[in-house]
Structure 1
């Protein structure tokens, strides 16, 4: 129990997880428990949430090396009941713990943090399986171009990202066979600045095939939502070549496409 705790003075190793690593090397299975606030990489975030710097911590590799992680998820109300019943701390420490680290708002935030950590692990595990994907977190990609409507698309995409609490990306596909004018280059820079103002990541790739480039980026970054503008091409070109939307629908089976209507110049 309590994998993150420190061993008693005089022990061969300082931490319990170090004992576990030695036992595992000997080929013996180990079952242990760990609270979300004890993971090293989350220490600063936990301190911001609770105002408490947790001293007992384990390296992330301990969790990453586990063959299986099971989340014991209880509501804040249930945890409070267990505390009041004396199932976690001695009676003299109950009131102090409820007024400090175990405040209701802290418990809600820590519970969400634990569920997100598990979701990340599920995605990473699925990504290692050939031909399988499991995108639990939403990720929004806005496809910008040299058309003026790109700024509108970025704003709409940022709103969608905020609603979904999603990561935000913007992509510009540079055609290597075509040089941008000065005005077009400035427009792309403006798109990049606006993307960064929305705390997004601006991506720029070179490819003569726009649909293929968008598809590859979407797969690489595990995008779940794509925002594009309606086609600026003539009906004849759409009939001959097919629209960008049609090409993306064929190549991306599990991605939602948002086609934003814009005024044509």
Structure 2
């Protein structure tokens, strides 16, 4: 149960972009929100739908979600499949949640500058003049630090073949669970993870030689029936 905040006139929004600095920004926001005893919200924006995220993006979402729960953050806001300019989305969220302070990482700022074709912070200042901004200097991750255990995800389906739940890569004529398969780099077999969406959250199961080894993690209502 979350503790009632006493300073509801203040509200902090942390904007995270994919990279190892997201956790640092969330913790920085949590520290400031604790000092001010005010609500904290975390926001990430992506133009792709959640169920098409690759292994790298899904990994960050999972870790951020776990950290948000650990710290008791008010809400982790994921705006996926978003076609509007990023600054418009941030402005909308800031107004909806009565945000007074926004934290942005310098590396995310640089990435979003590429997207907006201009100075991202200047765009935000113009779009959202009613908040204070904190630009946090963060270290860019090296290639060795990035999340690269899996190949790029491909569309796949889990079916029930009586004895096991197995993965196939063409849409079957039998009941199936649709998702994305991420194959482990360096293996000749269908080993990796299968990610799917359930109740607006990403879930995953482990695949070994094409077979789901932890099918108990698949909710009963998602399990495909026997052929």
Name the TM tier (shorter chain). Answer: 0.5 to 0.7
Counterpart for residue 71 of structure 2? 198
1:254 maps onto 2:130 in alignment: yes
**Equivalent position SS for 2:140:** coil
Q: How does 1:95-174 map to 2 (within 5 A)?
A: 137-174=9-46
Do 1:169 and 1:195's aligned partners in 2 also have CA atoms closer than 8 Å? no
Q: Which has the higher strand share?
A: 2
Do 2:12 and 2:102's aligned partners in 1 also have CA atoms closer than 8 Å? yes
Structure 2 residue runs of 5 or longer lacking an equivalent are: 142-227
Q: How does 1:22-101 map to 2 (within 5 A)?
A: none
**Equivalent position SS for 1:155:** helix
Q: Deviations over 1:127-175 (max 9, x none)?
A: xxxxxxxxx6110111112121100000000001011111011011121
**Equivalent position SS for 1:262:** coil
1:216 maps onto 2:88 in alignment: no
Q: Deviations over 1:39-74 (max 9, x none)?
A: xxxxxxxxxxxxxxxxxxxxxxxxxxxxxxxxxxxx
Pairwise CA RMSD of aligned residues?
Answer: 2.7
Q: TM-score, normalised by structure 1?
A: 0.45
Q: Deviations over 1:81-125 (max 9, x none)?
A: xxxxxxxxxxxxxxxxxxxxxxxxxxxxxxxx9xx7xx9xxxxxx
**Equivalent position SS for 1:226:** strand
Counterpart for residue 63 of structure 1? none
Change (3 A) 1:262 1:225: same
Q: Relative contact order (C-alpha < 8 Å, sep 6+): which is higher?
A: 2
For 2:26 and 2:114, how far apart are their aligned partners in 1?
26
Shift of 1:180: 2.3
Do 2:18 and 2:60's aligned partners in 1 also have CA atoms closer than 8 Å? yes
Do 2:107 and 2:137's aligned partners in 1 also have CA atoms closer than 8 Å? no
For 1:243 and 1:185, how far apart are their aligned partners in 2?
28
Do 1:225 and 1:255's aligned partners in 2 also have CA atoms closer than 8 Å? yes
Q: TM-score, normalised by structure 2?
A: 0.52
- Structure 1 stretches of 4+ moved >6 Å: none
Structure 1 residue runs of 5 or longer lacking an equivalent are: 1-112, 120-135
Shift of 1:237: 4.1
Do 1:227 and 1:259's aligned partners in 2 also have CA atoms closer than 8 Å? yes
Instruction: Report which of the two structures shows the higher radius of gyration computed on alpha carbons.
Output: 1
Shift of 1:244: 2.4
**Equivalent position SS for 1:222:** coil
Shift of 1:243: 2.7
Count of residue pairs brought into register by the alignment: 132
Change (3 A) 1:198 1:177: closer
